[in-house]
């Protein structure tokens, strides 16, 4: 059976606005790109805005390698 899912592989640096969760951001991107495999490099607080690294397709296999560092946050 052929899949209608888009075959996109790679990373997106998503500028997540305050007011949505990381899971909601993934759901929106999954729907827009019509892809099935998607994951993020770490949860941002729903009240925080900032860069949310998102892996798509085969890139999801690299999340643990790429995100093997500390998360830095700034508040105002």
pLDDT digits (tens, 9 = 90+) for 24-74: 999 999 999 998 899 988 888 999 999 999 999 999 998 888 776 666 666
Compute the average pLDDT of residues 4-27: 90
Q: Read off the pTM.
A: 0.78
Supply the pLDDT for residue 25. Answer: 94
Supply the pLDDT for residue 75. Answer: 60
The residue from 34, 45, 61, 66 that is catalytic is: 45
Q: Would residue 68 show up in a list of annotated catalytic residues for this protein?
A: no
Nearest alpha carbon to residue 45 among 17, 11, 67, 14: 17
């Amino acid at each position: 059976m052929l899949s209608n899912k888009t075959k996109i592989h790679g990373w997106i640096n998503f500028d997540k606005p305050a007011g949505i969760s990381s899971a909601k951001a993934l759901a929106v991107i999954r729907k827009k790109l019509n892809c099935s495999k998607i994951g993020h490099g770490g949860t941002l607080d729903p009240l925080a805005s900032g860069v949310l690294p998102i892996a798509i397709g085969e890139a999801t296999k690299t999340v643990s390698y790429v995100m093997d560092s500390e998360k830095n946050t700034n508040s105002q």
